[in-house]
């Protein structure tokens, strides 16, 4: 699920900044705080800035009936505090999985992420290990003139039991900045596959 939001952030950035040039805008995570309700699950996120990839692992200790994700993303221009993009939304994982299994776009994104490991397919979420290794989202070269951006992602998950009681099970904060850099390990993907708009 975290990966869906990262892909989403990447899509937001692509929309904000158009495309085409030599440089790449990459996130640098500075601050990662991870919390989980250990009775129900444990999870871990590691990120490598130099050979950019992300590993996510989660051990589910008790079957999860239904899960809501609360996601807040703030992207701010360091030079201009008026320029901010925010996202504040709550999503139901089980409904997204239903969507992922039914729609072509959903299947595409889900299939893309699935190549990286063992991810959740269905609800209720069974006990077991889920992981994503060496995940990296598709990159596109971006324009050279870009503002310096800071980002903050708050990622919370809530378990909803059969009697609709909500319990927080994950609470992660990611902070960092997007830096424009010349890279020699561009990893093209989804956007490179899509037709370019001139």
Secondary structure class of 185 (helix, strand, coil)? coil
With binding defined as CB under 6 A, does residue 55 bind ligand NAG?
A: yes
d(CA 158, CA 125): 13
In this chain, which of 46, 126, 144, 194 binds ligand NAG, going by CB under 6 A? 46
Of 45 and 94, which has the nearer Cβ to ligand NAG?
Answer: 45
61-90: contacts with ligand NAG (CB under 6 A)? 72, 88
d(CA 149, CA 120): 32
Of 133 and 185, which has the nearer Cβ to ligand NAG?
Answer: 133
Q: How far is the CB of 194 from ligand NAG (least distance, A)?
A: 28
CB count within 10 Å of CB 15 equals 9
Q: How far is the CB of 55 from ligand NAG (least distance, A)?
A: 4
Q: How far is the CB of 2 from ligand NAG (least distance, A)?
A: 15
With binding defined as CB under 6 A, does residue 118 bind ligand NAG?
A: no
With binding defined as CB under 6 A, does residue 133 bind ligand NAG?
A: yes
With binding defined as CB under 6 A, does residue 59 bind ligand NAG?
A: no
Residue 106 φ/ψ, nearest 5 degrees: -60, -45
With binding defined as CB under 6 A, does residue 48 bind ligand NAG?
A: yes
d(CA 105, CA 100): 8
Q: How far is the CB of 197 from ligand NAG (least distance, A)?
A: 32
**Binding footprint of ligand NAG, residue count (CB under 6 A):** 7
Rg for the chain, CA atoms, rounded: 17
Tokens of 27: 């996130």
Of 37, 30, 8, whose CA–CA distance to 156 is shortest? 37
With binding defined as CB under 6 A, does residue 115 bind ligand NAG?
A: no
End-to-end CA distance of the chain: 32
CB count within 10 Å of CB 135 equals 22
In this chain, which of 33, 134, 165, 166 binds ligand NAG, going by CB under 6 A? 134
Q: Which residues bind ligand NAG (CB under 6 A)?
A: 46, 48, 55, 72, 88, 133-134
């Amino acid at each position: 699920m975290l990966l869906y939001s990262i892909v989403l952030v990447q899509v937001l950035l692509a929309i904000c900044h158009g495309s085409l040039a030599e440089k790449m805008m990459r996130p640098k995570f500075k601050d990662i705080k991870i919390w989980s309700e250990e009775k129900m699950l444990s999870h871990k996120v590691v990120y490598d800035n130099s050979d950019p990839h992300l590993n996510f692992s989660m051990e589910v200790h008790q079957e999860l009936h239904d899960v809501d994700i609360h996601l807040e993303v703030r992207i701010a221009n360091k030079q201009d505090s008026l320029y901010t993009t925010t996202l504040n939304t709550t999503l139901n994982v089980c409904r997204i999985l239903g969507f992922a299994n039914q729609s072509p776009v959903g299947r595409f994104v889900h299939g893309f992420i699935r190549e990286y490991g063992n991810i959740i397919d269905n609800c209720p979420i069974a006990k077991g290990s889920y992981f994503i290794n060496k995940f990296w989202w598709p990159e596109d070269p971006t324009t050279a003139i870009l503002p310096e951006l800071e980002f903050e992602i708050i990622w919370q998950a809530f378990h909803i039991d059969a009697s609709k009681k909500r319990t927080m099970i994950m609470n992660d904060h990611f902070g960092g900045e997007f830096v424009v850099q010349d890279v020699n390990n561009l990893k093209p993907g989804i956007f490179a596959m899509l037709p370019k708009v001139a």
